[in-house]
Structure 1
Amino acid sequence: MDSMITAAARALAAGDLLGVLNRVALREDPPALALRGIAMARLGDFARAKALLQKAARGFGPREAVARARCIVAEAEIALVSRDLGWPAKSLEAARATLERRGDRLNAAHARHLSVRRLVLIGRLDEAEQTLAEIDPSPLPPALRAAHELVIAGIAIRRLRTQVARTALAQAARAARHSGIEALVAEVESATALLRAPAARLIARGGARLLLLEEVERLPATGALIIDACRNSVRTADAIVALATRPVLFALARALAEAWPGDVSRNALVARAFRAKEADESHRARLRVEIGRLRAALRGLAEISATADGFALLPHRASGIVVLAPPVEERHATLLALLADGEAWSSSGLALALGTSSRSVQRALDALASAGRVQSFGRGPARRWVTPPVPGFPTVLLLPAPPPGS
């Protein structure tokens, strides 16, 4: 490697992107193309960066497998940052294995971190934790150590482990400052702000108040029966009933919980669960069936008793009933929560993260764009969607997470 390439690589490691371009901007050899591609990616020109890295990878010969693997890792990082989560994970794993075999352990660790971050974004937290456990953070340089701690914090936030998240973010902040990379320092500060923002709204006995994430974590210890509208579940400190795939049952449970200790009329329940303006006999018959199903689902946690006007929810051993709801409830709130991270997402990436079809996501994006809530740039596969961050928007509990009870 010549001295100019060495100097450019050192500038890149220090976050001096203009220094990189000053040294290799006019060169077309594969190492220079790779360094330019990484620098352009960090400057936000992902399309140009991807083209440069692909050209560099093609230019490396068969004896330069490590250099080609590094280009694949850099391409994967671009895809992750641009929220194109459909990139082939197997290619990244093959590149990581090549780097590991050839002794490039730092770039191999970086590749593994990219895999973990993708798993976190799509809510596969168990796999993310298992992969992260295979990484020894002690020999990592400051920038990679900060990335490692950010991943730990991201998993902890989604699992409602606020103390673990706080500790990891503090360590990430120290490592980021030590690295001298301002963009990394800003990323840590942005993640830390999640712990200070309202994460949910507590509804009980006709009143409501905002909760921080650590207050949400402590809520089960109060002994209350929690109707969780963020995860669509009913839970106590030691039991959980997932109703994410049974929206009618959850709508009934939430309506009964919001009225506790009172009851809810049959007409109000029909309107809430079936969206019917007036209850006829068919609606009443269906309501009886669904109430029976809800009784069976909540057996052991609560009883549903019939009253003169409707039904009431009675907890068995819980000290009371509360509803945990997002601070802001609106249509497409989960989609907006993902976009609120400030990154430019592809529609396919949003579909993967939400676990739904690309067509459903595209319809939602079109509706939000018509309302001026989101905007796009680029065309075809390069099209990306962004939204200005909304102050106080509840991102934490709407992010992809493991199924309740896992």
Structure 2
Amino acid sequence: MDSLITAAGLALAAGDPLGALDRVALREDAPALALRGIAMAQLGDLDRAKVLLRRAVRGFGPKEAVARARCIVAEAEIALVSRDLGWPAKALDTARATLEKHGDRLNAAHAGHLTVRRLMLIGRLDEAERVLAGLDPAPLPPASRAAHELAVAGIAMRRLRTKAAREALEWARLAANRAGIAGLTAEVDSAFLVLETPAARLIAQGDERPLLLEEVEALQGSTALVVDALRYLVRKQETTISLATRPVLFALARALAEAWPGDVSREELVARAFGGKHADESHRARLRVEIGRLRAELRTLADIGATKRGFAMAPRQPGDVLVLARPIEERHAAVLAFLADGESWASSALALALGAGQRSVQRALEQLALSGKVQSFGHGRARRWMTPPVAGFTTTLLLPAPL
């Protein structure tokens, strides 16, 4: 390995893409192409980076499996930053296995962290935890250790384990400071903001207030009956009843919980559950059927009783009735929530992350664009969506060891 390639690799590891380009910008050999690709990715030119990395893969000979695997790992991270969630995950798994086989544990760990981040984005937390459990953070250099702790914190936040998340972020901040990479430090600071930003709203007896993630976690241990509009379930301590596949029943449960200890008129229940403006006899008949179904679902937690003007919820055990709602509730709020990370998303990636049809997501994006809440660039398969203005930065892209 010549000295310029080594120096360029060390510059990339230190977060200095311009320094790396100074050394290899005019070279066309495979190692130089790979380092140029990573440098361009760190500078934000992801399309050019992908071209350079693919040229590098073709340029490495059949005996240079480790170098090709490193390029595939770098391309996988570009796909992740680009929110190209359809990028072949098996290629990353194969590259990771190759790196482990040849003793390149740092790059293998980097590949593992990319797998964890992708799984978190599409909501497969159990798989993400299994992959992360197989990664030993002890021998990792500071930049990789920060990435590991960010993954630990991300899973802990989604599991509502805020203490574990905060501890992991403290370790990530320490590692990022030791690495001296500004983008990585900014990513850790951004993750800390999640713990200080309202994650939900609490609605109780006509009043509402924002809740931090820590407060949402504390609510799980309360004696209150909680109608959770984030996960579409009703719970009281350890007892949980999911209504995720019963949207009409959940709409009724939420309306009754918001009105507790009072009742809700039949007209309002019809409007909330069925979207009807006037409660005619057919609506009333359907309402009676659905109330009966809801009463059966919640029989261990609450009773649904008829009143003179409608229905009311009554917990079977003493305690308040609360509604946990999203911080912002509007049409297509879930799409906006994903776009809020400041990255550009393809509609196919959003559909995969949301578990929805791509055409449904495209219609939602078009409606949000008409109201000025999102914007797009590119055409056809290259079209990407984001929220204006963009206040993000490209995730640090590097290979821990120089090619």
Bigger mean CA offset, 30-39 vs 238-247: 238-247
Which deviates more from structure 2 when the two are superposed, residues 372-381 or residues 166-175? 372-381
Q: What is aligned with 1:105?
A: 105
Inter-CA distance 316–390: structure 2 relative to 1 (3 Å threshold): farther
Q: CA deviation at 1:375?
A: 1.1
Shift in CA distance, 58/370, structure 1 to aligned 2, threshold 3 Å: same
- Deviating more after overlay: 179-188 vs 344-353: 344-353
Kept in 1, the 8 Å contact 2:342–2:390? The answer is no
| Amino acid aligned to 2:256 | L
Q: TM-score normalized by structure 1? A: 0.95
Q: Which residue of 2 aligns with 1:371?
A: 371
How far apart, in 2, do the equivalents of 1:335 and 1:377 lie?
17
Which amino acid is 1:24 matched to?
V
Residue of structure 2 equivalent to 1:402: none
- State how far apart, in whole Å, the 2-side matches of 1:380 and 1:390 are: 22
Distance in 2 between residues matched to 1:130 and 1:221, nearest whole Å: 26
Asked whether the equivalents of residues 66 and 102 of structure 1 are also in contact (C-alpha less than 8 Å), the reply is yes
Of all paired residues, the percent bearing the same amino acid is 71
Q: Which runs of 5+ in 2 are unaligned?
A: 392-403
C-alpha displacement of 1:277: 0.8
For the pair 1:93 / 2:93, whether they are aligned, the reply is yes
Structure 1 range deviating more: 362-371 or 132-141: 362-371
Counterpart of 1:68 in structure 2: which amino acid?
A: R
Alignment of 1:170-209 (within 5 A): 170-209=170-209
> Matched residues in 1 for 2:213 and 2:61: separation?
51
For 2:62, what is the secondary structure of its paired residue?
coil
The equivalent residue for 2:231 is 231
The CA deviation string for residues 74-111 of structure 1, in whole angstroms up to 9 with x for no partner, is: 11000001111111111110110001001111000100
Instruction: Name the TM-score, length of structure 2 as normaliser.
Output: 0.95
Q: Is the 8 A contact 1:225 1:318 kept in 2?
A: no
Say if 1:250 and 1:389 are closer, same or farther in 2 by CA, change over 3 A: farther
Query: Shift in Å at residue 242 of structure 1?
Result: 1.0
SS at structure 1 position matched to 2:322: strand
Report the alpha carbon displacement of residue 381 of structure 1 after superposing the two structures with TM. Answer: 2.4
Q: Give me the whole-angstrom Cα distance separating, in 1, the residues matched to 2:268 and 2:339.
A: 34
Q: Which amino acid aligns with 1:371?
A: S
Secondary structure of the residue aligned to 2:41 is: helix
Q: State the partner residue of 2:136.
A: 136
- Please show how residues 261-300 of structure 1 align to structure 2 within 5 Å: 261-300=261-300
User: Following TM superposition, by how much is the alpha carbon of 1:389 offset from its aligned partner in structure 2, in angstroms?
Assistant: 6.6
Could you tell me how far 1:317 is from its partner in structure 2?
1.5
Q: How many residues align?
A: 391
Question: Does residue 249 of structure 1 match 2:253?
Answer: no
Q: Which residue identity does 1:10 align to in structure 2?
A: L
Q: Partner residue of 1:348?
A: 348
Query: For structure 1, which segment, 131-140 or 319-328, has the greater mean C-alpha deviation from structure 2 after superposition?
Result: 319-328
Query: Following TM superposition, by how much is the alpha carbon of 1:307 offset from its aligned partner in structure 2, in angstroms?
Result: 1.1
Tell me if structure 1 keeps the 8 A contact 2:30–2:56. yes
Letter of the 1:55 counterpart: R
Letter of the aligned partner of 2:205 in structure 1?
A: R
2-structure distance, mates of 1:222, 1:50: 50
Structure 1 CA distance, aligned partners of 2:139 and 2:224?
Answer: 45
- Cα deviation, 1:318-351, whole Å, max 9, x if unaligned, reads 4110011112111111111111111111111111
| Displacement of 1:60 | 0.5
Separation in 2 of the partners of 1:76 and 1:15?
19
Range with bigger deviation, 317-326 or 156-165: 317-326
- Do 1:341 and 1:389's aligned partners in 2 also have CA atoms closer than 8 Å? no
Secondary structure of 1:295's counterpart equals helix
Structure 1: which 5+ residue stretches go unaligned? Answer: 392-406
- Structure 1 position 222, deviation (Å): 2.2
Residue in 2 that maps onto 1:156: 156
User: How far is the alpha carbon of 1:285 from its aligned partner?
Assistant: 0.7
Deviations 1:97-145 (Å, cap 9, x if unpaired)? 0010011110001001110110000000000001100000000000010
| Alpha-carbon distance in structure 2 between the residues aligned to 1:368 and 1:254 | 26
Letter in 2 for 1:41: A
Aligned residue in 2 for 1:215: 215
Show CA shifts across 1:42-91 (max 9, x none).
11111100010001000111000100111111110000011111111111
Between the aligned partners of 1:186 and 1:232, the Cα distance in structure 2 is: 34
Q: Contact conserved, 2:225 with 2:320, CA < 8 A, in 1?
A: yes
Give the Å deviation of 1:378.
Answer: 2.0
Q: CA deviation at 1:271?
A: 1.1
CA RMSD of superposed structures (Å): 1.2
State yes or no: 1:325 paired with 2:319: no
The answer on whether the counterparts of 2:233 and 2:241 sit within 8 Å (CA) in structure 1 is yes
Q: Deviations over 1:370-392 (max 9, x none)?
A: 1111111222222211113799x
Equivalent position amino acid for 2:286 in 1: R
Question: Shift of residue 220 of structure 1?
Answer: 2.5
Contact 1:228–1:234 (Cα < 8 Å) also in 2: yes
Against the structure 1 CA distance between its residues 390 and 70, is the aligned structure 2 distance closer, same or farther, given a 3 Å change threshold? closer
Counterpart position of 2:27: 27
- Shift in Å, 1:204: 0.6
2:13 matched to which residue of 1? Answer: 13
User: Is the CA contact (8 Å cut-off) linking 1:162 and 1:214 kept in structure 2?
Assistant: yes
2: CA distance between counterparts of 1:137 and 1:389? 36
Once the two structures are superposed, the pairs formed by residues 43-58 of structure 1 within 5 Å of their partners are 43-58=43-58
Q: What's the secondary structure of 1:222's corresponding residue?
A: coil
Partner of 1:165: 165
Q: Counterpart in 1 of 2:396? A: none
Q: How does 1:303-322 map to 2 (within 5 A)?
A: 303-322=303-322
Cα distance in 2 between the residues matched to 1:157 and 1:132:
15
- Summarize the Cα distance change of 1:375–1:321 in structure 2 as closer, same or farther, 3 Å threshold: same
